[in-house]
Amino acid sequence: MSHPVPTWASVRPTERLAGTPAVRRDGRWWLVTPAGAMPASDPGLTGELDRFAADMAAADRAVAKLRTERAAVCEDQP
């Protein structure tokens, strides 16, 4: 079953890759702007998008871990 092309209005800000027009839907990268959307099909580009998304996810996890550790330290102090 094919999925509809994402439109500018249908993309939530949290779906965008770090504020870029790149959006991953159903395992496929799309470049979405108010003028329209097009699939990203260049293997070099999609590979970089995959790596960037993985790096961003790792950074988000690291920040969450630091916040949790800091909150635990603050709770232990009188």
Inter-residue contact 38 to 30 (CB < 8 Å): yes
Global pTM reads: 0.76
Q: How far is CA 32 from the centre of its chain?
A: 13
Mean pLDDT, consecutive 10-residue segments, the chain of 78 residues? Answer: 69 87 92 92 97 96 94 79
Q: How far is CA 42 from each of CA 5, 31, 38, 45, 47, rounded to the nearest angstrom?
A: 18, 12, 12, 5, 8
